[in-house]
Structure 1
């Protein structure tokens, strides 16, 4: 579908379309759906968003490589021409990075029962620490950091730190 002939909210240059106060975001989307149909554009700032309100059309679109483009954010480029990593990359680079990351996480134990057990143990320990300060205002305890580090270390090293 040619973007030049699509219906939707284009708005002003650089600003895009900013909805007026009033209805919720969902109501704005519902109104645009009623006015423009299953597929429409909404320009938000410098990004053009395409909204699809048809489940089957959405499934078909995401199964095609032309529709898997990700936004280009300057923050992820880090003085490079191309954004690297899982968050900032796009296309084949993103696909390869994602596949590599998932394989490494799986090899380290992600999704395995020993990691689930570690998370449950740390959650129970943290709940005990939080129960000791129940009923009185207090900052988030240092124990939260310890529990998180223990889960990561269980993933990487296979044992708890503390």
Structure 2
């Protein structure tokens, strides 16, 4: 009986240590183990975040399920974070690796690989006409036609129209072929 009680106390202590908020984290809503903080309110997420901003200031924590999110709610904090090298790393999203051992591309990579891939992609897109007036006009024309097609199906559920594929293809063709 005493061994069971000690085992239970030890297990509860380990669970408490595993699920408690780590030291050094900003203030905020930590929530329950495994499910985080699920607000039982009719307020929108925007209103809830604004309430947290009023209560905790410009930086706070809100745990959604098992993910810990540090939210920056102040212009100067966001600007400082985006200009700092400490915030360049991204979360590891396993579904973006497509069975590869290491992530490739622009979305799933980090560090110097991401920086080099980004520079390469921007250079290639610029060479193909991205940002030039001719391409902007083509995109606006295709966007206008797509909006007209979407207005035809407004108010009723329907799959995306074929015009979406045509608009994307036409913009790509404008970039590659110039027509």
Deviations 1:36-70 (A, max 9, x none): 22211111123211112222222112111111222
Instruction: Name the residue aligned to 1:53.
Output: 73
User: TM-score when scaled to structure 2?
Assistant: 0.71
Report deviation, 1:139: 7.2
Gapped regions of structure 2 (runs ≥ 5): 1-21
Question: How many residue pairs are counted as aligned between the two chains?
Answer: 156
> Is 1:113 aligned with 2:133?
yes
Maintained 8 Å contact 2:139/2:171: yes
Cα distance in 2, alignment partners of residues 155 and 126 from structure 1: 18
Runs of 4+ off more than 4 Å: 123-133, 138-141
In structure 2, do the counterparts of structure 1 residues 11 and 146 end up closer, same or farther at CA, with 3 Å as the change threshold?
same
- CA apart distance, 1:13: 2.8
Aligned match of 1:73: 93
> Structure 1 residues 7-16 or 103-112, which shifts more?
7-16
1:88 aligns with 2:108: yes
Normalising by structure 1, we get a TM-score of: 0.78
Q: Which residue of 2 aligns with 1:25?
A: 45
Structure 1 residue runs of 5 or longer lacking an equivalent are: none
CA distance in 2, matches of 1:35, 1:11: 16
Question: Within 1, Cα distance between the matches of 2:138 and 2:39?
Answer: 46
